[in-house]
């Protein structure tokens, strides 16, 4: 396998947009695939489910456009380059070259996964974005954090505590079903025993053009565009 099983399964499990991207390329004629039979279809940049300007004034249209069209695209390209290099090395039995790609696979694969999840867990304010979670999700939040307000406070504290680039995630522990907040450095994806429900990008490129060094204002504003419907779906309502 060119992709570690854990990453492959999370690719297929967590991101419908990613699956769509993979299916689109995998559908090309078999004859065309023959010369590159080790390439299982390239990842493609998923469409945003809303316009670039749709999250204003909380996240500017310019940020969204650069973030999606440039940054996410770069991760997609890097992920494809890494998987191809691994497949080529594998075909030659060159374990050393394959292993050398591992950090790039994690970084770009993680960047692709994280952003794909992120776009889907945001929505324009008043059109699926903002407000409060309800139903079973709210019950679980109240149980594990005390209240929705506490969840926001803990998440914002986790975001503020990230030293460098990274993400904060509301995750569900697959064994216990409990909710918790975790942070990940750079583009490390949430894998293993945690199911990612809600991701917030704390890289400077996610807010700097609008908020500059005032990142606490971004962390406060983003709650107005959280898509709780997506979060509830991932939670398993």
Positions in the binding site for another protein (CB under 8 A): 66, 70-71, 74, 103, 107, 163-166, 185-187, 203-205, 208-209, 212-213
User: Measured from the CB of residue 204, what is the shortest distance to another protein in angstroms?
Assistant: 4
Structure tokens at 43: 């990842």
State the minimum distance, in angstroms, from the CB of residue 69 to another protein. Answer: 9
What is the biggest distance separating any 2 CA atoms in the chain, rounded to whole angstroms? 58
- The sign of the CA dihedral 54, 57, 59, 60 is positive
Least separation in angstroms between CB 120 and another protein: 22
What is the smallest separation between the CB atom of 77 and another protein, expressed in angstroms? Answer: 12
Separation CA 182–CA 157 (nearest Å): 11
Using CA of residue 86, residue 91, residue 93, residue 97, what is the dihedral sign?
A: negative
Comparing CB distances to another protein, the nearer of 22 and 105 is: 105
Cβ pair 200, 222 in contact under 8 A: yes
> What distance in Å separates the CA atoms of residue 170 and residue 196, rounded to the nearest whole number?
6
> Which of 142/165 has CB closer to another protein?
165
Q: Which is nearer to another protein, 28 or 205 (CB)?
A: 205
Instruction: Indicate the residue among 33 and 66 with the shorter CB distance to another protein.
Output: 66
Nearer to another protein, 5 or 164 (CB): 164
Spatial neighbors of 125 by CB under 8 A, at least 6 apart, are 55, 58, 224, 225
> Which of 47, 107, 44 minimizes the C-alpha distance to 77?
44
CB of 26 to another protein, least distance (A): 28
Nearest to 18 by CA among 52, 48, 44: 44
Nearer to another protein, 111 or 124 (CB): 111
Distance CA 169, CA 199 (A): 4
Q: How far is the CB of 170 from another protein (least distance, A)?
A: 21
């Amino acid at each position: 396998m060119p992709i570690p099983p854990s990453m492959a399964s999370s690719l297929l499990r967590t991101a419908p947009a990613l699956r769509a991207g993979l299916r689109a390329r995998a559908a090309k004629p078999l004859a065309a695939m023959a010369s590159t039979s080790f390439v299982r279809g390239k990842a493609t940049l998923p469409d945003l489910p809303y316009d670039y300007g749709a999250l204003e004034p909380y996240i500017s249209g310019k940020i969204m456009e650069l973030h999606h069209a440039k940054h996410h695209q770069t991760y997609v390209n890097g992920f494809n380059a890494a998987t191809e290099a691994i497949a080529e090395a594998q075909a030659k039995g060159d374990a050393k070259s394959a292993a050398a790609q591992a950090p790039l696979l994690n970084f770009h694969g993680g960047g692709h996964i994280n952003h794909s999840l992120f776009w889907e867990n945001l929505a324009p304010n008043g059109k699926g974005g903002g407000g409060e979670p309800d139903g079973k999700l709210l019950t679980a939040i109240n149980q594990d954090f005390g209240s929705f307000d506490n969840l926001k406070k803990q998440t914002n504290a986790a975001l503020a505590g990230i030293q460098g680039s990274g993400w904060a995630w509301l995750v569900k522990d697959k064994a216990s079903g409990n909710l918790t907040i975790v942070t990940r450095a750079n583009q490390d994806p949430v894998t293993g025993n945690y199911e990612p429900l809600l991701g917030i990008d704390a890289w400077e490129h996610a807010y700097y053009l609008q908020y500059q060094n005032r990142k606490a204002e971004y962390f406060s504003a983003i709650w107005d565009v959280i898509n709780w419907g997506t979060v509830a779906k991932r939670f398993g309502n």
